Amino acid sequence: MKVKKVLKITGITLLVCVVLLAAAPFVFKDKIIAMVKETINENVNARVDFADADVSFFRNFPKASIILTEVEVINNAPFENDTLFYGKEVAVTTAIGELFKGSNEAIQVYSFTIDDAKLNIQVDANGNANYDIAKPNETPKDASTVEETSDFKFKIDNYHILNTDITYDDAKSKTQLVVANLQHEGFGDFSLATSELDTKTNALVSFAIDDMKYINQQQIALDALIGMDLTTNTYTFLENEALINQLPLTFDGFVKINPDSQEIQLKLQTPSSDFKNFLAVIPEAYAKNISGVKTSGNFEVSGEIKGIANDKRIPNIDIKIASNNASFKYPDLPKSVENININAQLKNTTGKTADTYISINNIAFKIDEDSFRGNGTLSQLTTNPKVNATVVGKLNLGNISKAYPIELNKELSGILDANLTTSFDMKAIQDEKYGRIKNNGNIKVSDFLFSSKDVVNPLEISEATIDFVPGRISLKKFDAKSGKSDFNATGTIENLLGFLFNEDKLKGDFNVNSNAFYVSDFMIASAEGSENKNTEVEKGEALKIPAFLDCTINVNSKKVYYDNIELDNVKGSLFLDDGKAILNNVTSDLFDGKIKVNGLVSTKKETPTFAMDLDLNSFDLSKSFNGLELLQTIAPIAKALDGKLNTIISLKGDLSESYTPNLKTISGNAFAELLTTTLKSNNVAFFNTINEKLSFIDLNKIDIENIKAKLSFDDGKVSVKPFSFDYKDIQITVAGSHGFDQSLNYDATFEIPAKYLGSEVTKLLSEIKSEEAKNITVPVSTKITGNFTNPNFTTDLASATTDLVTKLAKVKAQEALGNIDTGNDAVNDILGGLIKGSSTQKDSTVTTPNSTGDKVTSVLGNLLGNRKKKKEQEKKKDSVN
């Protein structure tokens, strides 16, 4: 019974302790929040906030943890409202008993953890630093006074900084350091005057000066045991091992922190001279697994960093990278890289940042019988980087992937032969002072083949020769093939370095000739029916005109195949600029006629657009109707026409994925003239219906030569202005519209001589004495609706005939009574102006065979700067209208 009682008491006691431990944080929470905020406000010149503060006795039991969540440090001027620090969680650990101290007693801190944080350090052009937020002490205090009045005392024995990104951006020196995904922890005793700190660090490091990246996402790892002398602020590296990617480095020396400077003395070297060290420094994504690689020769990194670092100088630097007669071979690849020699140095002897330079005295290698070598210097790193380099050698590009595990989507082959010397500084490129850029030499490529997911068909270059002269690059020869297309080119490129280093546009002028050019070879990879070889390009993925191009291309091609259209003798100019392709006077033979195109295509937006002027001369109507979907839509009656067509079409709209006009979006206008044309009405139900309704007309025998018509189209509808033509002695005037969906809404007026209106009319005409009355014509109005395959045709022919009979009978009666003579005016008064030759106002809007053809103004007038010509065209157009 006693045992049960003891267990019961013990259990109750433990339960009470657990309850107290769980409830205590709520008791101390307000105290902790008040203490933290008071400490911050007293010591920091910034706005600090956090979402919540809490105390836990279980997280690091038997110690207590103070936890702040979503901590923000927001700068005041001159970096007002910038975030210096954000941490998802900041925690410190102390003894439980520390929380029971009085309000004037400092709490002892033993460890801290920062997790999922971002530290953004900035220095502006005037040297102001955003991390300088500590409030200066108003009166000097010794260490004992500080300890007595502070809310916290630090006796750190371990700390952790996890999942943290640090950015250092110095506008004054134009340097940027980014430490990403930092994992760092340290174990030591900071309460002792001398002790050892055991640290582990892992991060991705990038470093740039003036937008030039010298280190990019390099994996850095460091295990270091550091001797700490807190009396002299000296930190000595006792045992350490560092990895840059997989390259091992060891170093020794010390860093001493003085009030206004740091004294640095470090020596570093690779622990071994195996050439595998060279492959280890290359990121694993590119070098792959190097464990089975066979190497010979050496690779060493050694050097020294020594001197004072402060606001005015940096330590002296002398780091050497060397390799002599080395080689490597990957086990799964057939070829090796041999005769590798490297002699490079990073150096600064003056302590001035601007005097740091990189010297590559020699870099060379050999694959099979092909050798490549180069040398150069990179100086003025922090002010105006200057490059001097020479590259000489011959290389079989196909051997690269056979000797090194580079990933290509398809293949790369060909012979590269280079002999090039270059000298330039970055400011010359930025300021477009191309006279200071000295390029001399040439590059020749032969039997080159390149394929990737970014190109529809492999690019095959049989031969290309490029000459480099100061300020300009000349393309002397370029013979190439892609898919079924062949082309050769010559030309010049003006600012290749500005394009490569300064994000300038690539400017050039080229002459391109081709025997056969298939647009589909460059547009869409896997559309239905496509013969393109690269199926990795997504279906429907159309090319974008590169916005970085600013080029003029003069084209001369014997054959161009676009969709199902074959163009002969294509000549003209193409301007590429800012994501647009501008066509200027592009001419071609097409459908037994000639076509001239001015316009533009833009791919700046997600949906490509176009605006074009098309001048079609003597087109074969039958061939053009079958070959052009646009013509089928705008003028479906062309199916019934046989002969020649002249037309000028201005249109704009969106392009589909295959770069053909999206007919639902186009708008514009057209002027069409029919030449030596006959009508085959049996081909179109629209004309068959007219033949059936008007028995005295046979449209198959109609003469429609020299008919001219004006059309406009928008919102899926084609509007036709009134135009007239004759069938024998019947004049026909047509106007109206039809939709791209083939719907009809037309009005036609037939000026029909009375003699065609039946025997009753003919009998009355023979009985009338007036000769003028015998020449009367009757306007018959018709309405055509429905669609082209099932048209509806209504006419007032019957009522017009009945009305005419009534009027002729009245004329006959008046003549019999002698009330009128046979004069034209008297008869015409009764007939209502039906006699031919009566004075009626002619509609100037009607286009007749004698009308003058419109001139369509080029949409490129302003774009191509030909303003004078445009004004003349507009004057002519105004005079016509």
Q: Which of 645-649, 819-823, 871-875 has the lowest mean pLDDT?
A: 871-875
Indicate whether 395 pLDDT > 70. Answer: yes
Q: What is the pLDDT of residues 528-573, one digit of tens each?
A: 444 444 444 444 445 667 777 788 989 999 988 876 778 899 999 9
Indicate whether 525 pLDDT > 80. Answer: no
Q: Are 680 and 699 in contact (CB under 8 A)?
A: no
Q: Are 854 and 876 in contact (CB under 8 A)?
A: no
pTM of the predicted protein model: 0.60
Q: What is the pLDDT of residue 535?
A: 44
Could you identify the residue written with the tokens 């199916």?
639
Indicate whether 125 pLDDT > 50. Answer: yes
Q: What is the pLDDT of residues 569-603, one digit of tens each?
A: 999 998 888 888 888 999 999 888 899 999 988 88
Q: Please name every residue paired with 489 in a beta bridge, in sequence order, or none if there are none.
A: 512
Q: Please name every residue paired with 43 in a beta bridge, in sequence order, or none if there are none.
A: none
The candidate with the shortest Cα–Cα distance to 170, out of 315, 363, 314, 12, is 314
Mean pLDDT of 790-797: 86
Indicate whether 523 pLDDT > 70. Answer: no
Indicate whether 327 pLDDT > 50. Answer: yes
The candidate with the shortest Cα–Cα distance to 85, out of 103, 68, 73, is 73
Q: Are 330 and 404 in contact (CB under 8 A)?
A: yes
**Band of residue 878 on the pLDDT scale cut at 50, 70, 90:** very low
Indicate whether 2 pLDDT > 70. Answer: no
Could you identify the residue written with the tokens 């009330």?
819
Mean pLDDT of 755-768: 80
Of residues 298 and 836, more confidence is placed in 298
Of residues 849 and 354, more confidence is placed in 354
E strand residue ranges, 411-527: 412-425, 438-450, 459-469, 472-482, 485-493, 506-514, 517-518
Q: What is the pLDDT of residue 284?
A: 67
Q: What is the pLDDT of residues 658-707, one digit of tens each?
A: 677 887 888 888 888 877 677 776 667 777 777 777 777 777 777 777 77
Q: What is the pLDDT of residue 854?
A: 33
Of residues 823 and 285, more confidence is placed in 285
- Tell me how far CA of residue 73 lies from CA of 46, 251, 588, 765, 820, in angstroms: 7, 36, 68, 106, 110
**Axis-axis angle for helices 797-817, 759-767 (nearest 10):** 20
Question: What is the percentage of the chain residues whose pLDDT exceeds 70?
Answer: 77
Of residues 219 and 376, more confidence is placed in 376
Indicate whether 743 pLDDT > 60. Answer: yes
Mean pLDDT of 225-238: 90
**Band of residue 750 on the pLDDT scale cut at 50, 70, 90:** confident
Indicate whether 865 pLDDT > 50. Answer: no
Q: What is the pLDDT of residues 66-121, one digit of tens each?
A: 888 898 888 888 888 899 899 999 888 877 666 655 555 556 778 889 999 999 99
Q: What is the pLDDT of residues 131-169, one digit of tens each?
A: 888 776 554 444 333 344 445 555 678 889 999 999 999
